[in-house]
Amino acid sequence: DQQVKQNSPSLSVQEGRISILNCDYTNSMFDYFLWYKKYPAEGPTFLISISSIKDKNEDGRFTVFLNKSAKHLSLHIVPSQPGDSAVYFCAASGGNFGNEKLTFGTGTRLTIIP
Amino acid sequence: ETGVTQTPRHLVMGMTNKKSLKCEQHLGHNAMYWYKQSAKKPLELMFVYSLEERVENNSVPSRFSPECPNSSHLFLHLHTLQPEDSALYLCASSQALSGYEQYFGPGTRLTVT
């Protein structure tokens, strides 16, 4: 049973527009959420995170929104740039899984069209 | 070297071979992890070491044997693997107990023939 789900395997967005990547989770005990970005032939790179006590966290062009009642989080990238083309993974930790364990989604491949 | 490094980057081995994957972190972290990434599947946590002690073994077959000789080095010893073990094996590290972010190496692409 997948506890972190990314239902869109791929997304294409025009350069300069907003990219919105979505993630759903089922375990209400998760209390920390992260987004990772992965280029081909490289390991995932930490991008941005949010604690369950917040509903928004912003870092430059990247904003993560958390809706705890819906068990949903999203990553907004604005404006989108060609270098943002990568696979984005949502991950969650906490609760009875402990702080050190991350549960990952399957990823969404984002393609920015110049 | 900076960050998390992994060697080799690519490995092809037969089912009867014995090989080892190596991971080294240069971040001063004290927790290290092995993950497996198969096509179209989420990253699967295999092993967790915190302060050089194994704290998690996620029902991984015994043909995978981890070793953590110190807080900077992590090995994954492989023997009598199956073709379905072909995957990308990722190592990660974190500062246990004080943060949640894990930092990943580039991975070893393993093919079992």
Q: Which residue has the higher pLDDT, B59 or B100?
A: B59
CB A112 within 8 A of CB A81: yes
Contact (CB<8Å) A46/B90 = no
Report the 10 Å Cβ neighbour count for A14: 12
Task: Report the alpha-carbon distance of residue A46 to residue A67 in Å, rounded.
Answer: 21
Q: Which of B100, B101, B109 to mutate to test the interface with A (most CBs of A within 10 A)?
A: B100
Check residue B42 and give its pLDDT. 86
Which of the four pLDDT bands, split at 50, 70 and 90, describes residue B95? confident
CB B83 within 8 A of CB B112: yes
Question: Which of A31-35, A63-67, B32-36, B51-55 is the least confident region?
Answer: B51-55
Q: What is the mean pLDDT of residues A25-41?
A: 92
Of residues A2, A41, A100, nearest to B106 (C-beta): A41
For A45-100, the pLDDT digits (tens) are 999 999 999 999 999 999 999 999 999 999 999 999 999 999 999 999 876 555 56
Residue with tokens 């050089």: B52
What is the residue-averaged pLDDT of chain B?
89
Please check whether residue A93 touches B, CB under 8 A: yes
Check residue B46 and give its pLDDT. 92
Contact (CB<8Å) B42/A107 = yes
Dihedral over alpha carbons B33, B47, B34, B101 (to 10 degrees): -30
Q: Is the pLDDT of residue A28 over 80?
A: yes
Check residue A99 and give its pLDDT. 58
How do B18-25 and B73-79 pair as beta strands? antiparallel
Please check whether residue B10 touches A, CB under 8 A: no
Residue B3 zone, left/alpha/beta (φ > 0; ψ -120 to 50; rest): left
Task: Report the alpha-carbon distance of residue B46 to residue B65 in Å, rounded.
Answer: 10
